[in-house]
Amino acid sequence: MRQRGIQSWLGLYSLLYVAFIYVPVLFLPLFSFNDGIYVAFPLKGFTTRWYQEMANNTALIDALKNSVLVGCTVAVISTALGTLTARALTRYRFRGRKTIFGLIVVPLVIPFIIIGVALLVLTNRLGIEPSLWTIGAAHLLIATPFTTLIMISRLEGFDASLEEASQDLGETGWMTFWLVTFPLAVPGIVASLLLSFTESFDEFILAFFLSGNEVTLPLYIWGQLRFPERLPMVLALGALILAASFVIVSFAEWVRRRGVNVKGK
């Protein structure tokens, strides 16, 4: 009897917890359809004009394009770097392996504001102008540890004898990689791409310190937070990002499930 009691309390708590996490976030879509400028109850009526305003706002579209550009570039490069690094760490013994591994994980334990400030100081000293490139470089630094860890977990369980067999059968090193190793690593690669893209797309503080003339989406949003008239349009943007996240995360999960079935173990 007591077991049931606790179970229902725990279940209730969990539901409340999920509500606690979601309710503030759900205000974004809620007020993005509200026909009024101020975000307060009572609601004033349904409208889609904020979405239309958003679609017509060139500054917003430009910032969105910049974020997508930086995000994709960072995703591809950091995944590539993560894969290479993971391969080196999982396949070879070499001097300094532990130190290098430690070094790779360091960006995870430094607050971003410190990285931002350090890069600001360096680029200023070297006369490098802040731009999307500097933001991208910073994002690359924080994304690569994640992709490395993902790829390590993917490649580590990988049976080397498969590669051995392939090479015994006459394939060169490269072909072995493409035909044997790569397909098995794909779920990890997809996860790395998605994770690093999302990290870069939503990242604010590094962009804040390192931006030049071109802004990314978070910087644009920051600039808009002060103006009440622009706010609903920004909420519309947030609602769309939320919806897109659902889609992307579901897709990633689907890919992962396929990967589990196809594993080379």
Partner 1 sequence: MENPITSPPEPRTLALVSKGRPRRWRNRNNNAYILLSPTLFLLVGVMCLPVGMLVAYSFWTQNFTQIDTTFTLANYAAVFEKEIYLKILLRSIAISLGVTATTILLAYPIAYFIAFRVTRQKMLWLILITVPFWTSYLLRVFAWKVILGYNGVINSALIWLGLIDAPLEFLLYNPMAVVITLAHAWAPVAILPIFVSLEKIDRSLLEAATDLGDTRFERFMHITLPLTVPGVTASFLLVFIPTVGDYVTPQLVGGPDGMMIGNLMYTLFFRVNNWPMGSALAIVMIFAITAMGAAIWMATARARGKVQ
Partner 2 sequence: MSDLEIVERLSAGRLSRRELLSALAAVGVGTVMLPARRALAQSGDEATLFTWSGYEIEGLHGGYNKKHGVFPEFTFFADEDEAFQKMLAGFTPDVPHPCSYNVGRWREAGLLQPIDTSRLSNWGDVISSLKDIDGTQFDGQQFFVPFDWGNTSILYRTDLVELEEESWSLMWDERYSGRLATFGSIDETVPYAAIYAGVDPYNMSDEDLKKVRELLRKQRPLIRFYASDETTIEQALAAGEIVAGSTWNGSVAALAAQGLPVAFLKPKEGIMTWVCGLTLHKDAPNIDKAYDLIDSMLSVEAGVTMLTEVGYGHANAKAFEKVDDATLEAVGLQRDVEAFLASGVFSRQFKNRDAVTAMFEEVKAGL
Stretch that binds partner 1, among 5-13, 50-58, 68-76, 177-185 (CB under 8 A): 5-13
Contacts (Cβ under 8 Å, ≥6 apart) of 48 = 33
Under rule CB under 8 A, residue 70 binds partner 1: no
Q: How far is residue 114 CA from its own chain's centroid?
A: 20
Task: Count Cβ atoms within 10 A of the Cβ of residue 205 and give its class: 0-12 exposed, 13-18 middle, 19 or more buried.
Answer: middle
Contact code string over 69-98 relative to partner 2, x by CB under 8 A: -----------------------------x
List the interface residues with partner 1, window 102-121 (CB under 8 A): 103-107, 109-115, 117-121
146 binds, among partner 2, partner 1, none (CB under 5 to 8 A by kind): partner 2
Smaller CB separation from partner 2, 176 or 191: 191
Q: Does 24 bind partner 1 (CB under 8 A)?
A: yes
| Residue 106 lies near partner 2 (rule: CB under 8 A) | yes
Q: Which does 132 bind (CB under 5 to 8 A by kind): partner 1, partner 2, none?
A: none
Nearest to 189 by CA among 83, 43, 53: 83
What residues are paired with 46 via a beta bridge?
34
**Min CB(131)–partner 2 separation in Å:** 7
The residues in 134-163 that bind partner 2, with binding defined as CB under 8 A, are 146, 149-150, 153-154
CA distances to 32, 106, 199 from 139, in Å: 30, 14, 8
**Ordered alpha helix ranges (H), the chain:** 2-32, 49-56, 58-91, 97-105, 112-126, 132-156, 160-168, 173-176, 182-202, 205-210, 217-224, 231-262
Q: Which does 154 bind (CB under 5 to 8 A by kind): partner 2, partner 1, none?
A: partner 2
The token pair that represents 1 in the structure block: 């009897």
Q: Which of 202, 201, 194, 199 is nearest to 252 (CA)?
A: 194
- Tell me, what amino acid is at 246? F
Please state the closest distance from residue 229 (CB atom) to partner 1, in A. 15
17 is a site residue for partner 2 (CB under 8 A): no
The answer to whether 105 touches 145, Cβ cutoff 8 Å, is yes
Single residue of 105, 160, 175, 179 touching partner 2 by CB under 8 A: 105
Check whether the bond before 42 is cis (ω within 30° of 0). yes
What is the Cα–Cα distance from 221 to 197, expressed in whole angstroms? Answer: 18
- Examine residue 127 and tell whether it contacts partner 2 (CB under 8 A): yes
165 binds partner 1 (CB under 8 A): no
Nearest distance, CB of residue 236 and partner 2, angstroms = 20
Q: Which residues bind partner 2 (CB under 8 A)?
A: 98-99, 101-103, 105-106, 109, 120, 123-131, 146, 149-150, 153-154, 187-188, 191-192, 195, 212-213, 223, 226-228, 252-253, 256
